[in-house]
Chain A
Amino acid sequence: MLQLAADNLLSPIVLSFVLGLFAALARSDLSVPEAAAKALSLYLLFAIGFKGGVAVSDHGIDAKLGAALLAGVVLSFALPLVAFGYLRAISGMNRTDAAAVAGHYGSISIVTFVAGSSVLSDAGIVAEGYMVAVAAAMEAPAILSALWLVSRGSAGGQRMNAELWHEILLNGSIVLLLGSFAIGWITGAEGLAKIESFIVSPFQGVLCIFLLDMGLIAGRGLREGSKVLDAGAIGFGLTMPLAGAAAGLGMGLLLGLSTGGVMLLMVLSASASYIAVPAAMRVALPEANPSIYLTLSLAVTFPFNLTVGIPLYLAAAQWATGG
Protein backbone atom coordinates (compact mmCIF):
# COMPACT_ATOMS: atom_id res chain seq x y z
CA MET A 1 0.00 0.00 0.00
CA LEU A 2 2.77 2.46 0.94
CA GLN A 3 4.72 1.53 -2.17
CA LEU A 4 1.59 2.08 -4.27
CA ALA A 5 1.04 5.48 -2.67
CA ALA A 6 4.68 6.46 -3.19
CA ASP A 7 4.61 5.33 -6.83
CA ASN A 8 1.46 7.36 -7.38
CA LEU A 9 2.82 10.48 -5.68
CA LEU A 10 6.00 10.33 -7.75
CA SER A 11 4.25 9.69 -11.05
CA PRO A 12 4.56 12.34 -13.79
CA ILE A 13 0.82 13.11 -13.69
CA VAL A 14 0.70 13.81 -9.96
CA LEU A 15 3.97 15.74 -10.03
CA SER A 16 2.62 17.84 -12.93
CA PHE A 17 -0.43 18.62 -10.83
CA VAL A 18 1.79 19.55 -7.86
CA LEU A 19 3.84 21.83 -10.13
CA GLY A 20 0.69 23.67 -11.21
CA LEU A 21 -0.47 23.92 -7.61
CA PHE A 22 2.88 25.30 -6.52
CA ALA A 23 2.99 27.80 -9.40
CA ALA A 24 -0.46 29.14 -8.55
CA LEU A 25 0.23 29.39 -4.83
CA ALA A 26 3.56 31.11 -5.55
CA ARG A 27 1.67 33.53 -7.84
CA SER A 28 3.79 32.60 -10.86
CA ASP A 29 2.49 33.84 -14.21
CA LEU A 30 2.47 30.26 -15.55
CA SER A 31 -0.86 29.64 -17.24
CA VAL A 32 -2.59 27.44 -19.79
CA PRO A 33 -4.76 29.44 -22.21
CA GLU A 34 -8.47 28.67 -22.13
CA ALA A 35 -8.52 27.35 -25.70
CA ALA A 36 -5.56 25.04 -25.02
CA ALA A 37 -7.21 23.69 -21.86
CA LYS A 38 -10.37 23.01 -23.82
CA ALA A 39 -8.43 21.22 -26.58
CA LEU A 40 -6.65 19.06 -24.01
CA SER A 41 -9.93 18.11 -22.37
CA LEU A 42 -11.45 17.25 -25.77
CA TYR A 43 -8.48 14.99 -26.50
CA LEU A 44 -8.71 13.22 -23.13
CA LEU A 45 -12.47 12.68 -23.41
CA PHE A 46 -12.14 11.33 -26.94
CA ALA A 47 -9.24 9.03 -26.05
CA ILE A 48 -10.82 7.59 -22.90
CA GLY A 49 -14.19 7.11 -24.60
CA PHE A 50 -12.66 5.50 -27.67
CA LYS A 51 -10.49 3.10 -25.68
CA GLY A 52 -13.49 2.13 -23.54
CA GLY A 53 -15.48 1.37 -26.68
CA VAL A 54 -12.65 -0.74 -28.10
CA ALA A 55 -12.46 -2.71 -24.84
CA VAL A 56 -16.18 -3.47 -25.04
CA SER A 57 -15.76 -4.46 -28.68
CA ASP A 58 -12.91 -6.83 -27.74
CA HIS A 59 -14.54 -8.47 -24.76
CA GLY A 60 -18.19 -8.15 -25.71
CA ILE A 61 -21.08 -7.00 -23.56
CA ASP A 62 -22.06 -9.02 -20.56
CA ALA A 63 -25.15 -8.88 -18.41
CA LYS A 64 -23.32 -6.70 -15.94
CA LEU A 65 -23.35 -3.71 -18.27
CA GLY A 66 -27.01 -2.86 -17.61
CA ALA A 67 -26.62 -3.55 -13.91
CA ALA A 68 -23.49 -1.38 -13.74
CA LEU A 69 -25.26 1.50 -15.49
CA LEU A 70 -28.20 1.18 -13.11
CA ALA A 71 -25.86 1.03 -10.13
CA GLY A 72 -24.12 4.19 -11.33
CA VAL A 73 -27.44 6.02 -11.63
CA VAL A 74 -28.52 4.86 -8.15
CA LEU A 75 -25.21 5.99 -6.65
CA SER A 76 -25.47 9.36 -8.37
CA PHE A 77 -29.00 9.87 -7.04
CA ALA A 78 -28.19 8.67 -3.53
CA LEU A 79 -24.76 10.15 -2.78
CA PRO A 80 -26.00 13.78 -2.71
CA LEU A 81 -28.49 12.83 0.01
CA VAL A 82 -25.65 11.45 2.15
CA ALA A 83 -23.39 14.39 1.29
CA PHE A 84 -26.11 16.92 2.15
CA GLY A 85 -26.81 15.43 5.57
CA TYR A 86 -23.11 15.05 6.36
CA LEU A 87 -22.22 18.56 5.23
CA ARG A 88 -25.07 20.15 7.18
CA ALA A 89 -24.01 18.20 10.26
CA ILE A 90 -20.34 19.20 10.22
CA SER A 91 -20.38 22.72 8.81
CA GLY A 92 -22.41 25.86 9.16
CA MET A 93 -23.35 25.88 5.50
CA ASN A 94 -26.83 27.03 4.56
CA ARG A 95 -29.31 24.71 2.89
CA THR A 96 -28.90 26.09 -0.65
CA ASP A 97 -25.11 25.99 -0.70
CA ALA A 98 -25.10 22.56 0.94
CA ALA A 99 -27.49 21.19 -1.69
CA ALA A 100 -25.37 22.63 -4.49
CA VAL A 101 -22.22 21.10 -3.00
CA ALA A 102 -24.01 17.77 -2.49
CA GLY A 103 -24.92 17.67 -6.18
CA HIS A 104 -21.24 17.89 -7.10
CA TYR A 105 -20.38 14.90 -4.90
CA GLY A 106 -23.01 12.68 -6.48
CA SER A 107 -21.80 13.46 -9.96
CA ILE A 108 -18.33 12.58 -11.22
CA SER A 109 -15.00 14.06 -12.25
CA ILE A 110 -13.96 12.60 -15.57
CA VAL A 111 -10.34 13.71 -15.04
CA THR A 112 -10.17 11.75 -11.78
CA PHE A 113 -11.58 8.80 -13.72
CA VAL A 114 -8.90 9.25 -16.40
CA ALA A 115 -6.18 9.45 -13.73
CA GLY A 116 -7.57 6.31 -12.05
CA SER A 117 -7.63 4.49 -15.39
CA SER A 118 -4.04 5.55 -15.98
CA VAL A 119 -2.94 4.14 -12.60
CA LEU A 120 -4.78 0.88 -13.39
CA SER A 121 -3.08 0.69 -16.76
CA ASP A 122 0.36 1.24 -15.17
CA ALA A 123 -0.39 -1.57 -12.71
CA GLY A 124 -1.36 -3.89 -15.60
CA ILE A 125 -4.93 -4.25 -14.33
CA VAL A 126 -7.74 -4.39 -16.88
CA ALA A 127 -11.15 -2.93 -16.11
CA GLU A 128 -14.49 -3.34 -17.84
CA GLY A 129 -14.49 -1.02 -20.87
CA TYR A 130 -18.07 0.01 -20.23
CA MET A 131 -17.06 1.87 -17.07
CA VAL A 132 -16.77 4.89 -19.38
CA ALA A 133 -20.51 4.60 -20.05
CA VAL A 134 -21.13 4.25 -16.30
CA ALA A 135 -19.18 7.51 -15.83
CA ALA A 136 -21.45 9.24 -18.34
CA ALA A 137 -24.58 7.82 -16.65
CA MET A 138 -23.46 9.22 -13.29
CA GLU A 139 -23.16 12.82 -14.48
CA ALA A 140 -26.77 13.95 -14.36
CA PRO A 141 -28.88 12.22 -11.66
CA ALA A 142 -27.04 14.04 -8.87
CA ILE A 143 -28.21 17.36 -10.27
CA LEU A 144 -31.83 16.28 -9.80
CA SER A 145 -31.10 15.17 -6.24
CA ALA A 146 -29.49 18.53 -5.45
CA LEU A 147 -32.46 20.45 -6.82
CA TRP A 148 -34.86 18.21 -4.93
CA LEU A 149 -32.90 18.81 -1.71
CA VAL A 150 -33.12 22.56 -2.05
CA SER A 151 -36.73 22.63 -3.10
CA ARG A 152 -38.35 20.27 -0.62
CA GLY A 153 -41.55 21.92 0.55
CA SER A 154 -41.40 24.65 -2.06
CA ALA A 155 -42.15 25.01 -5.76
CA GLY A 156 -38.64 23.99 -6.66
CA GLY A 157 -39.64 21.61 -9.41
CA GLN A 158 -39.93 24.64 -11.65
CA ARG A 159 -36.17 24.96 -11.61
CA MET A 160 -35.96 22.19 -14.18
CA ASN A 161 -37.10 22.99 -17.68
CA ALA A 162 -36.60 21.55 -21.15
CA GLU A 163 -33.64 23.79 -21.86
CA LEU A 164 -31.83 22.71 -18.71
CA TRP A 165 -32.59 19.05 -19.42
CA HIS A 166 -31.09 19.55 -22.85
CA GLU A 167 -27.94 21.11 -21.39
CA ILE A 168 -27.51 18.39 -18.81
CA LEU A 169 -28.06 15.43 -21.11
CA LEU A 170 -26.44 16.80 -24.24
CA ASN A 171 -23.57 18.85 -22.87
CA GLY A 172 -20.42 18.61 -24.95
CA SER A 173 -18.54 16.36 -22.51
CA ILE A 174 -21.29 13.72 -22.46
CA VAL A 175 -21.77 13.81 -26.23
CA LEU A 176 -18.04 13.46 -26.89
CA LEU A 177 -17.52 10.75 -24.28
CA LEU A 178 -20.44 8.61 -25.44
CA GLY A 179 -19.82 9.39 -29.11
CA SER A 180 -16.17 8.35 -28.99
CA PHE A 181 -17.20 5.29 -26.94
CA ALA A 182 -19.61 4.35 -29.76
CA ILE A 183 -16.92 4.94 -32.41
CA GLY A 184 -14.47 2.75 -30.49
CA TRP A 185 -17.11 0.05 -30.06
CA ILE A 186 -18.05 0.11 -33.76
CA THR A 187 -14.51 0.22 -35.16
CA GLY A 188 -12.92 -2.04 -32.54
CA ALA A 189 -9.26 -3.06 -32.57
CA GLU A 190 -8.89 -2.21 -36.26
CA GLY A 191 -10.05 1.32 -35.65
CA LEU A 192 -7.71 1.62 -32.68
CA ALA A 193 -4.75 0.43 -34.78
CA LYS A 194 -5.39 3.29 -37.20
CA ILE A 195 -5.25 6.06 -34.61
CA GLU A 196 -3.20 4.39 -31.89
CA SER A 197 -0.24 6.70 -32.39
CA PHE A 198 -2.57 9.61 -31.65
CA ILE A 199 -4.70 8.41 -28.76
CA VAL A 200 -2.49 5.90 -26.94
CA SER A 201 1.16 7.04 -27.01
CA PRO A 202 0.65 10.77 -26.34
CA PHE A 203 -2.07 10.14 -23.73
CA GLN A 204 0.11 10.31 -20.61
CA GLY A 205 1.92 13.43 -21.83
CA VAL A 206 -1.33 15.23 -22.60
CA LEU A 207 -2.70 14.16 -19.23
CA CYS A 208 0.39 15.69 -17.57
CA ILE A 209 -0.21 19.08 -19.22
CA PHE A 210 -3.91 18.92 -18.39
CA LEU A 211 -3.13 18.14 -14.77
CA LEU A 212 -0.62 20.98 -14.70
CA ASP A 213 -3.56 23.21 -15.62
CA MET A 214 -5.76 21.53 -13.02
CA GLY A 215 -3.05 22.24 -10.45
CA LEU A 216 -3.05 25.91 -11.46
CA ILE A 217 -6.83 26.07 -11.18
CA ALA A 218 -6.81 24.28 -7.83
CA GLY A 219 -4.08 26.58 -6.52
CA ARG A 220 -5.98 29.69 -7.60
CA GLY A 221 -9.11 28.21 -6.05
CA LEU A 222 -7.30 27.63 -2.77
CA ARG A 223 -5.96 31.17 -2.78
CA GLU A 224 -9.30 32.79 -3.50
CA GLY A 225 -11.82 30.31 -2.16
CA SER A 226 -10.26 29.35 1.15
CA LYS A 227 -11.88 32.48 2.59
CA VAL A 228 -15.36 31.01 2.00
CA LEU A 229 -14.73 27.54 3.47
CA ASP A 230 -14.83 26.76 7.16
CA ALA A 231 -12.97 23.85 8.76
CA GLY A 232 -16.08 21.69 8.63
CA ALA A 233 -16.46 22.20 4.88
CA ILE A 234 -12.81 21.38 4.26
CA GLY A 235 -13.17 18.28 6.44
CA PHE A 236 -16.17 17.33 4.32
CA GLY A 237 -14.15 17.74 1.12
CA LEU A 238 -11.50 15.37 2.47
CA THR A 239 -13.76 12.72 3.99
CA MET A 240 -16.81 12.61 1.72
CA PRO A 241 -14.71 10.95 -1.03
CA LEU A 242 -14.04 8.09 1.38
CA ALA A 243 -17.77 7.64 2.02
CA GLY A 244 -18.44 7.74 -1.72
CA ALA A 245 -15.64 5.25 -2.39
CA ALA A 246 -17.04 2.90 0.27
CA ALA A 247 -20.45 3.03 -1.44
CA GLY A 248 -18.76 2.37 -4.80
CA LEU A 249 -16.85 -0.54 -3.30
CA GLY A 250 -20.01 -2.12 -1.93
CA MET A 251 -21.86 -1.64 -5.20
CA GLY A 252 -18.94 -2.96 -7.26
CA LEU A 253 -18.70 -6.10 -5.13
CA LEU A 254 -22.46 -6.59 -5.34
CA LEU A 255 -22.23 -6.43 -9.12
CA GLY A 256 -19.28 -8.81 -9.23
CA LEU A 257 -17.07 -6.38 -11.17
CA SER A 258 -13.38 -7.10 -11.71
CA THR A 259 -10.75 -5.50 -9.46
CA GLY A 260 -10.27 -2.71 -12.01
CA GLY A 261 -14.02 -2.21 -12.38
CA VAL A 262 -14.53 -1.99 -8.62
CA MET A 263 -11.67 0.48 -8.33
CA LEU A 264 -13.09 2.69 -11.10
CA LEU A 265 -16.56 2.63 -9.56
CA MET A 266 -14.94 3.71 -6.28
CA VAL A 267 -13.12 6.53 -8.09
CA LEU A 268 -16.34 7.67 -9.76
CA SER A 269 -18.28 7.59 -6.49
CA ALA A 270 -15.50 9.41 -4.64
CA SER A 271 -14.98 12.15 -7.19
CA ALA A 272 -16.81 15.46 -7.42
CA SER A 273 -17.88 17.20 -10.60
CA TYR A 274 -16.42 20.52 -11.72
CA ILE A 275 -17.64 20.66 -15.31
CA ALA A 276 -21.27 19.58 -15.73
CA VAL A 277 -22.72 20.25 -12.28
CA PRO A 278 -21.35 23.80 -11.77
CA ALA A 279 -22.93 24.78 -15.09
CA ALA A 280 -26.28 23.27 -14.10
CA MET A 281 -26.12 24.92 -10.67
CA ARG A 282 -25.43 28.34 -12.18
CA VAL A 283 -28.56 28.00 -14.28
CA ALA A 284 -30.92 26.27 -11.86
CA LEU A 285 -29.58 27.42 -8.50
CA PRO A 286 -28.00 30.85 -9.08
CA GLU A 287 -28.41 31.80 -5.42
CA ALA A 288 -25.82 29.19 -4.40
CA ASN A 289 -22.28 30.54 -4.05
CA PRO A 290 -20.07 29.11 -6.84
CA SER A 291 -16.88 29.83 -4.87
CA ILE A 292 -17.94 27.27 -2.27
CA TYR A 293 -18.75 24.34 -4.52
CA LEU A 294 -15.98 24.96 -7.04
CA THR A 295 -13.33 25.37 -4.36
CA LEU A 296 -14.43 22.25 -2.52
CA SER A 297 -14.60 20.17 -5.67
CA LEU A 298 -11.51 21.46 -7.47
CA ALA A 299 -9.17 22.60 -4.73
CA VAL A 300 -9.92 20.11 -1.94
CA THR A 301 -11.46 16.87 -3.21
CA PHE A 302 -9.73 16.62 -6.59
CA PRO A 303 -6.18 16.91 -5.14
CA PHE A 304 -7.12 14.49 -2.35
CA ASN A 305 -8.36 11.88 -4.80
CA LEU A 306 -5.42 12.34 -7.14
CA THR A 307 -2.73 12.01 -4.49
CA VAL A 308 -4.17 9.86 -1.69
CA GLY A 309 -7.53 8.56 -2.85
CA ILE A 310 -6.66 6.69 -6.05
CA PRO A 311 -3.92 4.47 -4.54
CA LEU A 312 -6.13 3.92 -1.50
CA TYR A 313 -9.10 2.86 -3.65
CA LEU A 314 -6.90 0.55 -5.72
CA ALA A 315 -5.53 -1.12 -2.59
CA ALA A 316 -9.05 -1.49 -1.16
CA ALA A 317 -10.37 -2.94 -4.42
CA GLN A 318 -7.47 -5.41 -4.58
CA TRP A 319 -8.01 -6.40 -0.99
CA ALA A 320 -11.77 -6.81 -1.37
CA THR A 321 -11.69 -8.75 -4.65
CA GLY A 322 -8.51 -10.69 -3.92
CA GLY A 323 -7.12 -9.26 -7.17
Chain B
Amino acid sequence: MQTHKAKRVEITIEKIMERRLTEALQSADVTGYSVLPVRGGSGRSGSWSREGQISRGSGMVQVICIIRPDRLDALLEAAFEVVESHIGVVTVTDCEVLRAERF
Protein backbone atom coordinates (compact mmCIF):
# COMPACT_ATOMS: atom_id res chain seq x y z
CA MET B 1 0.00 0.00 0.00
CA GLN B 2 1.20 3.53 -0.82
CA THR B 3 2.38 5.47 2.23
CA HIS B 4 3.59 9.08 2.58
CA LYS B 5 6.24 10.60 4.78
CA ALA B 6 5.04 12.82 7.64
CA LYS B 7 6.26 14.21 10.96
CA ARG B 8 4.77 13.25 14.30
CA VAL B 9 5.18 15.96 16.93
CA GLU B 10 4.48 15.08 20.56
CA ILE B 11 4.29 17.93 23.04
CA THR B 12 3.97 16.94 26.68
CA ILE B 13 2.98 20.04 28.60
CA GLU B 14 1.27 21.17 31.78
CA LYS B 15 -2.50 20.85 31.63
CA ILE B 16 -2.91 24.50 32.55
CA MET B 17 -1.09 25.43 29.32
CA GLU B 18 -3.16 23.17 27.06
CA ARG B 19 -5.53 25.82 25.76
CA ARG B 20 -2.71 28.29 25.11
CA LEU B 21 -0.83 25.66 23.13
CA THR B 22 -3.78 24.50 21.04
CA GLU B 23 -4.69 28.12 20.28
CA ALA B 24 -1.11 28.77 19.17
CA LEU B 25 -1.27 25.70 16.93
CA GLN B 26 -4.57 26.85 15.44
CA SER B 27 -3.10 30.26 14.74
CA ALA B 28 -0.24 28.54 12.89
CA ASP B 29 -2.87 26.72 10.78
CA VAL B 30 -2.27 23.43 12.52
CA THR B 31 -5.88 22.39 12.91
CA GLY B 32 -5.41 18.66 13.36
CA TYR B 33 -4.16 17.40 16.71
CA SER B 34 -5.14 15.06 19.53
CA VAL B 35 -4.91 15.77 23.24
CA LEU B 36 -4.28 12.85 25.57
CA PRO B 37 -4.19 12.88 29.37
CA VAL B 38 -0.95 11.81 31.02
CA ARG B 39 -1.60 9.50 33.98
CA GLY B 40 1.50 10.38 35.92
CA GLY B 41 5.24 10.51 35.75
CA SER B 42 8.41 11.86 37.21
CA GLY B 43 10.60 14.80 36.35
CA ARG B 44 12.79 17.53 37.80
CA SER B 45 10.03 18.53 40.23
CA GLY B 46 9.56 14.96 41.48
CA SER B 47 6.98 12.33 40.69
CA TRP B 48 3.26 12.95 40.38
CA SER B 49 0.03 11.14 39.57
CA ARG B 50 -3.35 12.20 38.25
CA GLU B 51 -5.09 10.47 41.13
CA GLY B 52 -6.74 12.85 43.53
CA GLN B 53 -5.35 15.94 41.81
CA ILE B 54 -7.49 18.88 42.81
CA SER B 55 -5.13 21.68 41.95
CA ARG B 56 -5.74 23.21 38.54
CA GLY B 57 -2.01 23.81 38.36
CA SER B 58 -1.11 20.14 38.39
CA GLY B 59 -1.20 17.45 35.75
CA MET B 60 0.14 17.08 32.24
CA VAL B 61 -1.34 16.44 28.83
CA GLN B 62 0.18 15.31 25.58
CA VAL B 63 -0.69 17.09 22.35
CA ILE B 64 0.04 15.00 19.26
CA CYS B 65 0.13 16.42 15.72
CA ILE B 66 0.93 14.62 12.51
CA ILE B 67 1.81 17.01 9.70
CA ARG B 68 3.54 17.31 6.35
CA PRO B 69 7.33 17.77 6.76
CA ASP B 70 7.25 21.21 5.10
CA ARG B 71 4.94 22.54 7.83
CA LEU B 72 7.12 21.42 10.72
CA ASP B 73 9.01 24.67 11.30
CA ALA B 74 5.85 26.77 11.54
CA LEU B 75 4.41 24.33 14.07
CA LEU B 76 7.55 24.24 16.18
CA GLU B 77 7.85 28.03 16.23
CA ALA B 78 4.25 28.38 17.40
CA ALA B 79 4.67 25.67 20.01
CA PHE B 80 7.99 26.98 21.27
CA GLU B 81 6.51 30.37 22.12
CA VAL B 82 4.18 28.61 24.55
CA VAL B 83 6.38 25.87 25.97
CA GLU B 84 9.66 27.82 26.16
CA SER B 85 9.52 28.69 29.85
CA HIS B 86 7.33 25.83 31.01
CA ILE B 87 7.76 22.25 32.11
CA GLY B 88 7.40 19.96 29.12
CA VAL B 89 8.99 17.90 26.40
CA VAL B 90 8.77 18.33 22.63
CA THR B 91 9.74 15.44 20.38
CA VAL B 92 9.65 15.08 16.60
CA THR B 93 9.74 11.69 14.89
CA ASP B 94 9.41 10.50 11.34
CA CYS B 95 6.30 8.55 10.49
CA GLU B 96 4.29 7.48 7.50
CA VAL B 97 0.61 8.03 6.80
CA LEU B 98 -1.79 6.43 4.38
CA ARG B 99 -3.82 9.42 3.23
CA ALA B 100 -1.47 12.34 2.64
CA GLU B 101 -4.24 14.76 1.66
CA ARG B 102 -5.51 14.71 5.25
CA PHE B 103 -2.33 16.27 6.60
Contact = CB atoms under 8 A, between A and B. Distances in A.
B18 to A, nearest CB: 11
A284 B10 CA distance: 24
Nearest to B23: A163
Interface centre among A33, A171, A277, A286 (most CB of B within 10 A): A286
Nearest to A172: B56
A3 B57 CA distance: 38
B1 interface: no
Contacts of A38: 54
A185 interface: no
Interface string B8-26: 0000001011001000000
Contact of B57 (A37, A163, A290): A290
A274 B55 contact: yes
A41 interface: yes
A279 B51 contact: no
A121 B57 CA distance: 32
A31 B46 contact: no
A34 interface: yes
A275 B29 CA distance: 33
Contact of B56 (A32, A217, A279, A286): A279
A31 B52 CA distance: 7
Nearest to A210: B54
Contacts of A277: 57
A289 B59 CA distance: 14
A213 B51 CA distance: 9
Contacts of B14: 282
A214 B51 CA distance: 11
B36 to A, nearest CB: 14
Contacts of B20: 163
Contact of B46 (A172, A274, A275, A291): A291
Contacts of A286: 85-87
Interface in B46-63: 46-59
Interface string B81-92: 000011100000
B93 interface: no
Given A279-B16, A283-B17, A290-B45, A274 B54 contact: yes
Interface residues of A, number: 35
Interface centre among B49, B52, B55, B57 (most CB of A within 10 A): B52
A294 interface: yes
A172 B59 CA distance: 17
B54 A282 contact: no
B47 A224 contact: yes
Contacts of A274: 54-55
A217 B47 CA distance: 12
A155 to B, nearest CB: 14
A78 B47 CA distance: 33
B57 A282 contact: yes
A291 B51 CA distance: 17
B93 to A, nearest CB: 26
A37 B54 contact: yes
Contacts of B86: 282, 286
A278 B55 contact: yes
Given A224-B46, A283-B17, A34 B56 contact: no
Interface of B: 14, 16-17, 20, 45-59, 85-87
24 contacts: A32-B52, A33-B51, A33-B52, A37-B53, A37-B54, A172-B56, A213-B52, A216-B51, A216-B52, A220-B49, A227-B46, A228-B46, A275-B54, A275-B56, A278-B55, A278-B57, A282-B14, A282-B57, A286-B87, A289-B45, A290-B57, A291-B45, A291-B46, A294-B58
